[in-house]
A = this chain, B = another copy of it.
C-alpha cells in the first residue's frame, strides 16, 4: 500500500481491553497538518469527542497527532474529561507539540471508567516505536468487534505533482452515520488549508459514511478525521479540488463499504440504489429506510427475493411516492414492476442472492432526478449472538 509521506505510526497493548491485542495507537505527522473532523450527532457524546472538537477549534484546524484507544469508549464516565485531557497532555509533552494539536478518539464499552495511567504509562514506548511502517498495526489496534482491518489508499496527480491519500477505519456494530460514524482516520500528504479541507471532508462524508449503516444505532464516539500535512510538497490549487475530492470520496466510500461488509454477523454487503426520487434527500431517506429494515435485512440473509418488504420499508421513509410507479430489481433481476409482482425465475434468483454482494435497486419511474446509493449488510443470527453477550 502506498502511504502518504511524512506520517509515522505506532501501536501497543496498554491493558485497556482483555486479551492482549494492541489497544492504544498513535499517528504523528512530522509537520503541522491541516485537520478536519466530522463527529457523531448523538446527544450523548464521549469525552474524547468533545475534546477533539475543542482541540480542532483551539488550534484553528491544525494537528500533529491522533491518539486513539480501543476497548473503552471513555463515555458516560465520571473521570472521562480528565482522562482524555491527561492522555493528550502526556502525548503532547512526549512529542514536544502543543496539546491542542493532539486529537483524541476512543472506542469500546460505554460507562466503564478508563484508567488514565494505562495510557500515560504506555505512551513513552509508543512514541519510541513511531515508524512509517506501522500503518497496518495501527489499523488493527483500533478494532473492536471487527473481524478484519479496514484500509484504503489512493494516489492523485494534481497540478503540482502526485499526492497520496490513505485511510483506516473501524466499526461493525452501533453503526448508522448521521454526521459521521465510527472511527476513521484519513491522511494525505497534499498541502491543503484547514478551511477547504473541512469542506471536502464534509462533502466526501456525505457520500460515504453518511450512506452506510449496520444496525441503525449511532454510536456516542463516532469520529472521522482528515489530516493533510503537505509532505508531498504539492499544494492543492482550486482547479485540483474536484479531482482530489473525487479521490477522497472514492476512498472513503471504500472504507464505508468495508465497514458494512464486516457488519456484526454480516454475511453479505448490500448496496441499495434509489432512483427517480424528487430530491437527493428523499432518495437518501428511502435508501436508509430500506437499509434499516430488519425484515429486508433478514430476507437478504435468507436469500429470499421478498420485494414486498422492500416496498413496505420504502413506504415508511416518510417520503411521498406512488407505489404504482415503482420497479424493484434484486441482483439486476426485476422482481416488481409498476408496484406489482414481475415474473422471474425464483430458483435462479435465490442462487444469485446467495452471493456475497447483493444489490437492491428501487426505481420510481417518471419521477425526479433524486438518486442515492447506500450500503448496509444482512442481519443474521450471529449479530444477536455477538450483541447478547458483548459487555460481559
Q: Taking beta carbons and an 8 Å cutoff, which residues of A are in contact with B? A: 42-45, 73, 75-78, 109-113, 173-174, 178, 215-220, 292-295, 298-299, 301-302, 304, 306-309, 311-317, 319-321, 323, 336, 339-341, 350, 379-381, 383-385, 387-392
Asked if A384 contacts B301 (CB within 8 A), the reply is yes
Asked if A384 contacts B298 (CB within 8 A), the reply is yes
Could you list some 16 contacts between A and B, CB below 8 A?
A43-B314, A43-B317, A43-B319, A44-B314, A44-B315, A110-B309, A111-B340, A113-B341, A174-B309, A215-B294, A215-B295, A218-B312, A220-B315, A302-B392, A304-B389, A380-B384
Asked if B384 contacts A311 (CB within 8 A), the reply is no
Name the one of B76, B174, B217, B299 contacting A388, with C-beta atoms under 8 angstroms.
B299
Name the one of B215, B220, B336 contacting A311, with C-beta atoms under 8 angstroms.
B220
Asked if B76 contacts A311 (CB within 8 A), the reply is yes
Query: What residue of chain B has the Cβ atom nearest to residue A321's Cβ?
Result: B43
Complex: A339 Cα to B75 Cα, angstroms: 10
| Chain B residues closer than 8 Å to A309, beta-carbon distance | 110, 174, 217
Complex: A388 Cα to B305 Cα, angstroms: 10
Instruction: Please report whether the interface of chain A is mostly helix, strand, loop or mixed according to DSSP.
Output: loop
Asked if B109 contacts A308 (CB within 8 A), the reply is yes
| Chain B residues closer than 8 Å to A320, beta-carbon distance | 43
Query: What residue of chain B has the Cβ atom nearest to residue A392's Cβ?
Result: B304
Complex: A13 Cα to B319 Cα, angstroms: 38
Complex: A387 Cα to B381 Cα, angstroms: 11
Complex: A319 Cα to B42 Cα, angstroms: 10
Query: What residue of chain B has the Cβ atom nearest to residue A378's Cβ?
Result: B388
Asked if B387 contacts A384 (CB within 8 A), the reply is no
Complex: A72 Cα to B267 Cα, angstroms: 30
| Chain B residues closer than 8 Å to A385, beta-carbon distance | 381
Complex: A290 Cα to B113 Cα, angstroms: 23
Complex: A341 Cα to B323 Cα, angstroms: 48
Complex: A380 Cα to B109 Cα, angstroms: 21
Given A111-B308, A311-B76, A341-B76, also A302-B336 (CB < 8 A): no
| Chain B residues closer than 8 Å to A340, beta-carbon distance | 76-78, 111
CB distance from A283 to the nearest CB of B (A): 15
Asked if A389 contacts B302 (CB within 8 A), the reply is yes
Name the one of B178, B295, B301, B390 contacting A304, with C-beta atoms under 8 angstroms.
B390
Complex: A295 Cα to B313 Cα, angstroms: 20
CB distance from A341 to the nearest CB of B (A): 5
Asked if A43 contacts B174 (CB within 8 A), the reply is no
**Nearest 3 interchain pairs by C-beta:** A110-B308, A302-B388, A44-B315
Complex: A218 Cα to B293 Cα, angstroms: 10
CB distance from A6 to the nearest CB of B (A): 36
Asked if A311 contacts B383 (CB within 8 A), the reply is no
| Chain B residues closer than 8 Å to A293, beta-carbon distance | 216-217
| Chain B residues closer than 8 Å to A216, beta-carbon distance | 292-294
